[in-house]
Structure 1
Amino acid sequence: MKRTRKGFTLIELLIVVVIIGILAAIAIPKFADTKRKAYVTAMKSDLKNMVSAAEAYFSDNNSYAGYVAPTGSSGVSLTFVGSATGWAGTATHANAAGATCSIGTGTDTPAGLAEGQPGGATCK
């Protein structure tokens, strides 16, 4: 009598587990920075909204002084420093430690940034 067994051998199962482990080791680092990129994108978006609001305020009052930074989106903190001839704004995110985006115009442009720099905001 011949007996046929159905199923996988232990070696075949171990090979599959090893292959899955190798694929995971390649894929995980590629996607690990995705959340941080999303947080930086949220900061840039909030800064762009703040730019529009600050310019509207300047149009009405002919000065940036007195403008108050709006509330940022979830987790984003915005700061705004304005004078009669310029302003500087920064954004940080609670979940993106060490990441800061800044933008400015006029006499208050942050050090190291060119006024009207393409992309609008510089993030570190």
Structure 2
Amino acid sequence: MAAIKGRVARRRRDFQAQTARVLVNGNALVVIEDLNTRGMTASAKGSAEKPGSMVAQKSGLNRVILDKGWYGLETALRSATRTTGTRIRKINPAYTCRGEEHSGRRAWRLQDVEPSRRWPGP
């Protein structure tokens, strides 16, 4: 089982490195969400006096969140930007959805902005 998990981890790191290289080579600015994974994966057990609810579901969600390796992608991006001059900006993840289901209006997207008002680059 350890060999399989090691293989999965190596593949994830390789994917992160390749994805980071593609993003950095094709863009002057890479914007990522400033996700609080520690808060997102906090335990739902609660205490002896007030036990948590849906602990098994939260445990499964935590496993999936940590399995994605978001921090590893950020680290790979930072490493890849050293040689290209690409900048990384972290933004607040609030209101970054691309659909109308949350706010009743379309969220901002780069494609919706006039070309003259887009980020000018480095």
Same fold (TM over 0.5): no
The structure in which a higher percent of residues are strand is: 1
Which of these two proteins has the greater Rg computed from alpha carbons? 1
**TM-score, structure 1 length as denominator?**
0.29
